[in-house]
Amino acid sequence: MPVYSCGLDVSSSALRFLAARLREHRRRLGTRWRRLSAGRQALLALAHLRNGHPYAQLAAGFGIGTTTAYRYITEAVDVLAALAPTLADAVRAASTKAFVLLDGTLPPIDRIAADRPFYSGKHKKHGMNVQVVADPFGRLLGASPALPGAVHDVRAAHEHGVIDALAGAGIVCWADKGYQGAGGTVRVPYRGRWETLSTGQQAVNRSHAKIRALVGQAVATLKSWRLLRKLRCSTTRITSLVQAVLTLHLASSS
């Protein structure tokens, strides 16, 4: 397989962070020798997460076997996922903000039409439902575990305890119409066709849309890691991948 050099649009701080965590992990395991150093393993994992290259291509580029590439990447993802902030951590960070933004995103997966639990009627495709919490400026604070795409946003937020946690902390949360009936401190726009709404309701909905528009930046932060734009792995691995990306983003932006 021909091999070529390629740049990786990831900050050096993310590479240093992951390499340091992998060195600590190897010391705990008592590892004596690996085909790749901790720094090269970190680069391998970042290349997979950022660009979504298949294991065979990455293995050829790094001069290792495909199975070894898979094992190294999986290990790095698990190390990162273990460091991801919990819901309590996200709520603690949100408590210093005036309010938070909540939205659901659907990382697509390669499933057939028969896999109905993973099919989202809202997005018209198969995927996994991930709930995203952002601050008023659209900066990512937290991301939930992944649920099948057929799960509605309001149900996913309740199952993960996001609504109750925000309400318990008294944090106002702005969300879209998909969270109607969520209760707690969630603020949603008025339902109904635009022409049937009163002038006051239309004004409220316009203001609401302007406030929550920035949540798209938090979603885009996740999707900037191209692996999450089209997932071809087992659905049981998607939560770990999302948490790994979240950890890298927070580590490189702090």
Q: Are residues 118 and 234 in contact, defined by beta-carbon separation less than 8 angstroms?
A: no
How many other CB atoms are there within 10 angstroms of residue 8's CB atom?
12
Residues contacting 136, CB < 8 A, separation 6+: 97, 98, 99, 100, 101, 211, 214
Residue 72 CA, distance from chain mean position: 21
pTM exceeding 0.85: yes
Cα-only R_g, the chain: 20
Question: What pLDDT band is residue 115 in, cutting at 50, 70 and 90?
Answer: low
Tell me the C-alpha distance between 112 and 108, whole Å.
12
In tens, the pLDDT along 181-238 reads: 899 999 999 988 888 999 999 999 999 999 999 999 999 999 999 999 988 888 899 9
**Residue 235 pLDDT:** 87
Q: Are residues 230 and 110 in contact, defined by beta-carbon separation less than 8 angstroms?
A: yes
In tens, the pLDDT along 121-146 reads: 888 888 999 999 999 999 999 999 99
Tell me the C-alpha distance between 205 and 138, whole Å.
19
Length of the chain equals: 254
How many other CB atoms are there within 10 angstroms of residue 13's CB atom?
13
Tell me the C-alpha distance between 165 and 171, whole Å.
9
Which residue type is seen at 106?
L
**Residue 10 pLDDT:** 87
